[in-house]
A and B are shown apart, each in its own frame.
Chain A
Amino acid sequence: MAGLEIYKEKCIGCERCLGACRREALFMQEGIVAVLPEKCTACGLCVRVCPTEALKADRPPRPARQPRPQPVLDTPVEHGGVWVFVEQTDGKAARVSWELLGVGACLAADLGVKLAGVVLGHQVGELAKEAIAYGAGTAYLVDDPVLAHYRTQPYLHAVKQLVTRYRPEVLLLGATTTGRDLAGAVATELGTGLTADCTGLSIDREARLLEQTRPAFGGNIMATIFTEERRPQMATVRPRVMAMPARDDSRQGKVISERLDLAEDQVAVKVLEYVREAVAGTVNLADAEVIVSGGRGMGGPESFKLLAELAQVLDGVVGASRAAVDAGWMPYEHQVGQTGKTVRPKLYLACGISGAVQHLVGMQTSDVIVAINNDPEAPIFSVANYGIVGDLFQVVPALTRAARERLGSK
């Protein structure tokens, strides 16, 4: 049965209800609205937009369910678990989401609970399957045009809907602009604890607590933080801090779809324009395998050309310390460090960089670090695999020549 009552005498045929209905359950018959009972779920969206109160849903709104044969003993809705927010833009997932599924799998195993991905967006059903391929046992999916482009309010609403219903113990998000924007709002709304930019996550099994480790005071100290009572325990993690898990498209998992009970006209913020920066000239530090980075020792913007040459031969990109960016020698996109990007390349060349803690925080998990500095006491040498004490204006061109000899010109 439909559960939708139509007061025909009130209907003025404006058809606003048809626009609101997501199930294609309404149609016009001789100028008056009519309903297809088998499609209507009495969600109430049409009731809300009707200007004359010609519609009434006599059941409280609930998410649509596909009819399917029910076993006699029905499996209860899943509760608990470790959840990872799968961030996406235009249907493409942010890589950090998969990295979090990787560490999430370990946390879930230690807690003895399931791992789930949370996919929000429009026409993102494929991402739910991708989340399963990267290790999620379940993917919670809220697919709605209102979620097509990230905005705080509808995403907060969707997460709150899911969390309230399915009650995860842990919720992880990438520490990206979107992740940080959303996490702060969600944690406050739920009155729970949130730890930002974690570099380490593990489980205290006895206490069933998430151990969240992060740098503080500009990276000068490390702190381990617990959220003892409130749930879910929330944490954000920067991209490239955790390793990517293996992808297995044959993995099986469950996709649980929920309806977003929020309409576009209830969202006050509007995105007027979205412009992707030009591909040429965009520096992709995050994915670079080789980074040639310059600091205060570079002395000025022109010197970075030397680094660019070396980077080109090594098939890498140019990075910069905060000192170089603040001095205006390089744009902020190139900044590596605590207030810049965290990078994890195979090779990081630090040229004229002293190695202040705030910089190290952003690159110390590189596979190999080579440091060039004319100060033998520079802290960078204490973390470098190979250190050259010398004049970078001689050493860097020498490296470029030696690299060309061995690798061929690029």
Chain B
Amino acid sequence: MHIVVSMKQVPDTTQVRIDPETNTLIREGVPSIINPFDVHAIEEALRLRERYGGKVTLLSMGPPQAQESLQKGLSLGADAAFLLSDRAFSGADTLATSCALAAAIGKLSEQEPVDLVICGKQTIDGDTAQVGPGIARRLELAQLTYVDQVMSVDEAGRTITVRRKLEGAHEVVRAPLPALLTVVKEINEPRYAHLPELIRALRTQIPVWTAETLGVDPECIGLKGSPTKVRRIFAPPRRGGGEQVEGDPETAAAAVLDKLLAGKVIGA
């Protein structure tokens, strides 16, 4: 089975701050990491390779430094990695991003047909969860989102059976291959990199593909290919602080409860 994992290098947004004076992001000193959901995607790909044999290829669209994250992915055990990097890709919204990634997966498929694409459910910087479905639509892959378990792959029958985690329910779904999955954290516990893979990763070349390599329509990628445009960025509105309730625990508790009752917040 040839599995492609589409992953992204993101700033660790739990550490990103906004400069209240300039309303811009302070990214200095904020480490770059593999998008946490993509780590689970890589792990699932590796587990499927262990079960069914085959190859795991990583793919990422980003600036040159995204090589580091691809290398981390290789050190977990992936077989190959490709970086899509080009000024022409920059400023892309999710539609333009899925265009480039789908083109790259198409190109990978020419060399070795791709059976499965696995993505994390969303990134922690964009938070849209749109790129996975976008790739699926463009490549006409069966789309299965919020997967929390891959139950089986029937290689002869060319189907995959997964469990999807929905609100207050779950469902078991069977889809034909090739398919695209987006996965949630509950799907697995990612492994740590081990020394042999770390060494192999350092030696593995990560080819960089440009827009020209992909032969993709320049109107479809980057800023040009993005129907959505950011007009304005601002600091989130701060909800006004309230009052400190003083006193020992008993006093403070009583005071708060009385206020809540008076305001009909509780006991209404």
Of the candidates A151, A385, A391, A395, the one whose C-beta lies within 8 Å of that of B253 is A395
A194→B95 CA distance, assembly (Å): 8
Q: Which of A22-30, A71-79, A177-185, A250-258 interfaces with chain B?
A: A177-185
Please indicate the chain B residues that have their CB under 8 angstroms from the CB of A367 in the complex: 265
Which residues in A have their C-beta under 8 angstroms from that of B144?
A: 269
B-binding segment of A6-14, A106-114, A216-224: A216-224
Is residue B199 contacting chain A, with contact meaning CB distance below 8 A? no
Q: Known interface pairs A223-B232, A227-B228. Does A275 touch B142 (Cβ–Cβ under 8 Å)? A: no
Within 8 A of A (CB), among B224-264: 226-245, 249-250, 252-254, 256-261, 263
List the A side residues contacting B250 at CB < 8 Å. 398, 401-402
> Which chain B residues numbered 109 to 131 have a C-beta less than 8 Å away from chain A?
122, 124-131
Contact across chains for A225 and B228 when beta carbons are under 8 A apart: yes
Verify if B170 is at the interface (C-beta below 8 Å from A).
yes
B186 sits at the interface (CB 8 A): yes
Q: Interface size (B, Cβ < 8 Å)?
A: 83
Which residues in window 140-181 of A have CB below 8 A to B? 151-153, 156, 176-178, 180-181
Between A and B, how many residue pairs show CB distances below 8 Å? 259
Determine whether B137 belongs to the interface, using a CB cutoff of 8 Å to chain A.
yes
Interface of A is mostly: mixed
Contact code string A279-295 (vs B, CB < 8 Å = 1, else 0): 00010100000100000
- Indicate the member of B164, B176, B236, B261 with the most A CB atoms within 10 Å: B236
Closest approach, in angstroms, between the C-beta of A69 and any C-beta of chain B?
43
Residues of A contacting B222 in the complex (Cβ-Cβ under 8 angstroms): none
Q: Which applies to chain B's interface (DSSP): helix, strand, loop or mixed?
A: mixed
Which residues of chain A are near B137, meaning CB under 8 Å? 156, 184-185, 188-189
Residue on B nearest A371 in the bound complex, by CB: B242
Of B227, B231, B244, B261, which one neighbours A193 at CB under 8 angstroms?
B227
The reply to whether B266 and A347 form a contact with Cβ atoms under 8 Å apart is: yes
Whether the Cβ atoms of B11 and A386 lie closer than 8 Å is no
CB-CB nearest in chain A for B125: A217
A272 touches B (CB below 8 Å): yes
In residues 131-165 of chain B, which contact A (Cβ within 8 Å)? Answer: 131-134, 136-138, 142-146, 161, 164-165
Within 8 A of A (CB), among B163-218: 164-176, 185-186
A249 at the interface (CB under 8 A from B): no
Is A230 in contact with chain B by the CB < 8 A criterion?
yes
Please measure, in the bound complex, the distance between the C-alpha atom of A226 and the C-alpha atom of B230, giving whole angstroms. Answer: 7
CB atoms of B236 and A277 under 8 A apart: no
Smallest CB-CB separation from B11: which chain A residue?
A217
A interface residues (Cβ-Cβ under 8 A, vs B):
89, 151-153, 156, 176-178, 180-181, 183-185, 187-189, 191-197, 211-212, 215-230, 268-277, 282, 284, 290, 314, 332, 338-339, 346-347, 356-358, 360-361, 364, 367-370, 381-391, 394-395, 397-399, 401-403, 406-407
Task: Report which B residues bind A (CB closer than 8 A).
Answer: 11, 13-14, 16-18, 23, 25, 93-95, 98, 122, 124-134, 136-138, 142-146, 161, 164-176, 185-186, 226-245, 249-250, 252-254, 256-261, 263, 265-267
- In the complex, besides A223-B232, A347-B266, A395-B249, 18 extra interface pairs with C-beta distance below 8 angstroms are A152-B143, A180-B130, A185-B136, A188-B98, A188-B134, A194-B94, A219-B236, A226-B231, A271-B171, A272-B174, A284-B168, A346-B265, A347-B265, A360-B236, A386-B259, A388-B249, A397-B249, A402-B250
